[in-house]
Structure 1
């Protein structure tokens, strides 16, 4: 039996008080960061290889089913507003976009559909494919990775079971073994948390290495609301010494913190 399907370390959950449930869940969650830390060497390898490909126009694709697929879509969807780049990180879920909100029956069992979904993006050997599956045996993910390898792509797998089929199939195996879930088999819990952390690390590290962060600031973020305009204006004030009103006007005219700061210093020459 896989670790993610093993019986919970806790019995009679239905007889626990709310406090007992929450305290015990928190004890289990504390194990997640330790499991992810052990996977850092593999994550580092993936980041370095992905950045090389991105610099040559390559993209990072995530595929998964259920919770794993939703987490990939979530991570990918946050890259454009955060770092100002479109179509560089792409998340696909078994069953299509409707599966983000509602389970699509048997979608994860289709071994050929992932590659069909990927072909719509003209995926090629310069791209990177990351399969996400807590169990490490999801057919949709395994089939996609097999086709990707056959077409010369770099592949990686994110799983919460050691020695899974996904780890065997992937060029780079990222295993965050968090142990049995508090509710037996409910991998949206610790496994999902571990996957979210790993995805955060992959995409954020790639964007930093691609020059989308200056110092510790998101200088290419999209100005999609007042909060982000305010944040950007304050960054410009800090970098240039302009007044807030001047910085805000410059930001709105140039469209990004990076461009606004560059314009300011160019004008000073």
Structure 2
């Protein structure tokens, strides 16, 4: 091999391997760049404050102090001894400053469950998160929602529920066209029922609510039965001599499945 040929081969090898080495470094820099753009974002996300009931409550107090939220006059009274003892017994985290009577009530409410009436309003407005878990946060959110005239009108004029309409059917009362939930509530509260009628409706409505409750149905792998199916199942037991107040939702599961087997989850 002459000197010129050897020089040409050497030049080609240097060009090929040098290029490959350069490409490798470029990929390494690109990978490093990608890692550096991801890591800070993850660190920032880890530092982001997570929603907690106390921070939500403190934000509400700021709005109260700024008079952005209306509260009753007693809210600003000093905390009572009974409230202070209750907070200590509950092990509630207290801010490092004096509390008002209303603020103490809010803190106590953090440990209380959301009642069914509050839950119904929050569910209607598709509220999620902490207001569904803490009584005082539920009350604050509901006050905020219903202070909006448009939302208040939507709530007042919401359609009657299937169970409310079932009340009309149960007592052979024609269901008015366009019946609202508020109108049904007023009707159900003003009707002069006998004690027996009140007891019957209570037992009947309890059966319906339990059979349509998700947690109850999960215990039996039962899909949600319709009102006509529940009505039919109850009638079968009553025809056999069972008293309505002696009937439980558990008693009705097998009867419902015998009427409509496909309500059992596969």
Q: TM-score under structure 2 normalisation?
A: 0.22
Q: Greater helix share, 1 or 2?
A: 2
TM-score in terms of structure 1 length = 0.21
Richer in strand (by share)? 1
Bigger relative contact order, structure 1 or 2, given CA contacts below 8 A and separation 6+?
Answer: 1
Larger radius of gyration: 2
